[in-house]
Structure 1
Amino acid sequence: MVIKVLGSGCANCKKLEANVKEAVKELGIEATIEKVQDFKDIASYGVMRTPALVVDEQVKIAGKVPTVEEIKKYL
C-alpha cells in the first residue's frame, strides 16, 4: 500500500502525516508513506485544497485533516 500526503508542509499537512503514521501503526499494516509537496504533482491528482490523503493513487480526502479513526477507514 502506498499512502501519499499532499501539501506544502504547513501545520495541517504535518498533522495529517502524523495521523497517517499513527493509523498505520495501530492497524499493523505495511505501507509506504510519501510526502508530495510539488504543486504540479498535487494538481495532477485534481486536488485544489490541501492537505489531501491519497491511498494507492486514489484521492480519499482533501481540504481537511481527518482523525486517526477516519484514516483507518480508508486504509
Structure 2
Amino acid sequence: MKTFKVLGGGCRNCEVTAEAIAHAAAEAGVEIALEKVTDMAEILGYGVMSTPGVVLDGEVVHAGGVPRADQVRAWVCD
C-alpha cells in the first residue's frame, strides 16, 4: 500500500490535491493511505517551502501548486 501525505495549511489547493489523489486511487482500484499534514514544523521538516506538497512513501514528489492529473495517476499506478 502506498502512503501519501499532502502538506499544507488547509488551503483550497491542498484540498484539491488530496481529492485528486483519492480520486485517482479509487479510479485505479488501488488502496492507499492518505494523510493531510498541517503542522508547519513537520512541513518544513520535509524541506517544503511552497504548498501544497506531496510526500509519497516518505519522499517529497511535488511542491508548490496543484499537481497535474497525469502526475497523480503516475504516483498512484506506478
Please give the TM-score of this superposition, normalised by the length of structure 1. 0.93
Letter in 1 for 2:29: G
Letter in 2 for 1:29: V
Q: C-alpha offsets along residues 12-64 of structure 1, whole Å, 9 cap, x if unaligned?
A: 10110111111111121111100000000101111000001110011011001
Percent identity for Structure 1 against Structure 2? 40
Please give the TM-score of this superposition, normalised by the length of structure 2. 0.90
Query: Deviation above 6 Å: which 4+ runs of structure 1?
Result: none
Choose 40-49 or 63-72, whichever is displaced more. Answer: 63-72
Unaligned runs of 5+ in 2: none
Q: Which residue is 2:70 aligned to?
A: 69
Q: Quote the RMSD (CA, aligned, Å).
A: 0.9
Q: Distance in 1 between matches of 2:31 and 2:49?
A: 29
Preserved CA contact (<8 Å) 1:19 1:67: no
Question: Tell me, what secondary structure is at the counterpart of 2:70?
Answer: helix
